[in-house]
């Protein structure tokens, strides 16, 4: 139960921001999406998904602020929330630097009492990162049809800082559909397979690229902006390095 004077009432439509706010400004969240899985055991009202939030349910919670993201959430839903008289803070996060700035803005708006330690640790961890490359990678995010990271993505920026060049970083689309034979023809050094939004596994993904090093990575470490950023450089570097070494044996 929220204590009196616990700060603004906040609804989050973005899993990454939900986690960041929950651990940095405890008690202010009153609603979040069904996809907001971190932190575990978060006890707030569930108000639909990121792409189909229940505007009436959100309005009924009487939030002072709704957190959204220009990529994660749909413009018509955000317009409907504003039309209902709600204050909507929309973030834009395409790079690590943007992410860190936007997290500062979000946490300030949510009344976080101080700059969280995890944010300082995340900055330090990424400043000290040791690249595993240079290597070129294909980064699928879906199959049937195959879709990959294209240009101007947060995940692409993180990989670049790790010395991994996205083979489709100059593609005009951010998440292009590419036929499998074209993906294979790029002859990448590495295949990076996150477990979200499509759950790639050791038996679902690598077999489509025989002979290519395949790194199965925690999608949260690659695509979420929040507390996971502090551990992401070390954990991602370890998985990428392990895959490259295994392919050389």
159 and 227 both lie in a single domain: yes
**Cα dihedral sign for 173, 174, 178, 184?**
positive
Per DSSP (E only), the strands in 77-230 are 88-91, 135-138, 140-142, 147-148, 164-166, 190-194, 213-217
| pLDDT value for 1 | 42
Q: Quote the CA–CA distance of 139 and 12 in Å, as a whole number.
A: 28
Mark residue 187 as left, alpha or beta (left: phi above 0; alpha: psi -120 to 50; beta: remaining): left
Walk along the chain (249 residues) in steps of 10 and give the mean pLDDT of each run. Answer: 66 97 96 96 96 97 97 96 97 96 97 94 96 95 97 97 97 97 96 96 96 96 95 96 86
Which residue has 């018509």 as its token pair? 76
| pLDDT value for 39 | 95
| pLDDT value for 5 | 44
The CATH number given to whatever domain includes residue 227 is 3.40.50.1980
Helix or strand (DSSP H, E) at 31 = strand 29-32
| pLDDT value for 6 | 64
164 and 244 both lie in a single domain: yes
| pLDDT value for 249 | 66
Coil/strand/helix, residue 55: helix
Give Cα separations from 74 to 57, 126, 226 (angstroms). 17, 30, 21
Range of the structural domain that residue 59 is part of: 10-115
91 and 201 both lie in a single domain: no
152 and 84 both lie in a single domain: no
In a domain, 1, yes or no: no
pTM score of the predicted model: 0.92
| pLDDT value for 208 | 97
């Amino acid at each position: 139960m929220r204590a009196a004077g616990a700060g603004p009432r906040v609804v989050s439509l973005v899993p990454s921001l939900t986690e960041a706010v929950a651990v940095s400004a405890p008690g202010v969240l009153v609603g979040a999406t069904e996809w907001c899985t971190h932190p575990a055991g978060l006890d707030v009202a569930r108000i639909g998904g990121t792409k189909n939030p229940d505007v009436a349910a959100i309005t009924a919670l009487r939030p002072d602020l709704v957190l959204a993201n220009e990529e994660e959430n749909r413009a018509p839903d955000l317009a409907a929330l504003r039309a209902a008289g709600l204050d909507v803070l929309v973030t834009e996060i395409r790079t690590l630097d943007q992410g860190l700035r936007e997290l500062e803005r979000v946490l300030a708006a949510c009344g976080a009492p101080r700059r969280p330690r995890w944010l300082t640790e995340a900055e330090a961890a990424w400043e000290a990162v040791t690249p595993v490359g240079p290597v070129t990678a294909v980064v699928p995010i879906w199959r049937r049809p195959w879709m990959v990271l294209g240009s101007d993505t947060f995940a692409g920026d993180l990989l670049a800082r790790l010395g991994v060049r996205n083979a489709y970083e100059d593609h005009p689309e951010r998440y292009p559909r590419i036929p499998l034979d074209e993906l294979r023809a790029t002859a990448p050094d590495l295949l990076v397979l996150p477990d979200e939004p499509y759950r790639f596994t050791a038996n679902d993904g690598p077999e489509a690229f025989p002979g290519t090093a395949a790194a199965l990575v925690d999608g949260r470490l690659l695509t979420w902006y929040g507390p996971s950023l502090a551990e992401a450089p070390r954990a991602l570097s370890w998985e990428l390095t392990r895959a490259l070494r295994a392919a050389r044996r």
